[in-house]
């Protein structure tokens, strides 16, 4: 049970920072959407790039199988995104993952911008997917922030050296990954349901 309590204790201990990270994550996503709506040609270019790229091809290859689609969504969210874009850069350079993910999120927001009636209707069921999955990203980002802070300012983690601060931050980051993984799983399941059952009702 301690592994379930600890993430919430970490959040409560730094609630202000956690809320700021959430505001940053969702704010960048909304900013990207706003840019996509203001510049429809930019939105069209990003959609075309996604459709013609590797991720678009992967989605098209698995969309016919609900279980496989959900599994791929989970794996893509966890490994190429949360691990490679947020966690690994932050292990090398403090807060680097926050910057990298912000760029990725803005790009995604541009791609998902509701520029016409169809995309606006599709965004209704997809909003819950974004809420769930980006909360998982926010937890990983919060862990990256805590790591960087305790690394640069060990005293915030009651550590006497930066090495000790790094280890302490790494431990807290790992604990925050547990609820993030749970949310990634829930988000993948819901996204599969959304694609197969909800989007056809509104598209």
Please indicate, yes or no, if residue 32 is contained in any of the structural domains.
yes
Contact 133, 53 (CB under 8 A): no
Q: For residue 171, give its domain range.
A: 2-196
Of all residues in the chain, what percent carry a pLDDT higher than 90?
A: 89
Total of domains in the chain: 1
- The band of 59, judged by pLDDT with boundaries at 50, 70 and 90, is confident
Please indicate, yes or no, if residue 171 is contained in any of the structural domains.
yes
Please indicate, yes or no, if residue 203 is contained in any of the structural domains.
no
Name the least confident of 18-22, 48-52, 69-73, 103-107: 48-52
pTM tops 0.75 = yes
Joined together, the tokens standing for residue 152 give 């640069």
Position 39 scores a pLDDT of: 98
Closest CA to 150 of 137, 166, 173, 171: 166
Quick: pLDDT tens for 136-155: 999 999 999 999 999 999 99
Please indicate, yes or no, if residue 202 is contained in any of the structural domains.
no
Please indicate, yes or no, if residue 46 is contained in any of the structural domains.
yes
Position 3 scores a pLDDT of: 75
b/e 151-182 (16+ beta carbons within 10 angstroms → b): beebeebebeeeeebbebbbbbbebbbebbbe
């Amino acid at each position: 049970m301690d592994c379930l309590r600890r993430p919430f204790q970490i959040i409560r201990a730094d609630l202000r920072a956690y809320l700021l990270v959430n505001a940053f994550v969702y704010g960048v996503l909304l900013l990207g959407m706003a840019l996509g709506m203001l510049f429809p040609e930019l939105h069209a270019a990003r959609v075309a790039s996604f459709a013609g790229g590797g991720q678009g091809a992967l989605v098209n290859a698995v969309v016919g199988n609900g279980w496989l689609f959900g599994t791929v969504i989970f794996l893509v969210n966890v490994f190429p995104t949360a691990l490679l874009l947020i966690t690994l850069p932050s292990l090398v350079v403090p807060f680097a993952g926050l910057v990298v993910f912000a760029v990725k999120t803005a790009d995604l927001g541009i791609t998902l911008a509701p520029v016409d009636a169809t995309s606006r209707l599709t965004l209704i069921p997809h909003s819950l997917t974004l809420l769930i999955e980006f909360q998982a990203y926010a937890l990983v980002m919060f862990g990256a922030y805590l790591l960087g802070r305790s690394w640069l300012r060990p005293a915030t983690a009651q550590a006497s050296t930066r090495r000790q601060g790094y280890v302490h931050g790494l431990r807290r980051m790992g604990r925050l990954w547990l609820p993030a993984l749970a949310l990634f799983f829930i988000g993948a399941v819901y996204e599969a349901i959304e694609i197969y059952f909800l989007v056809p009702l509104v598209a």
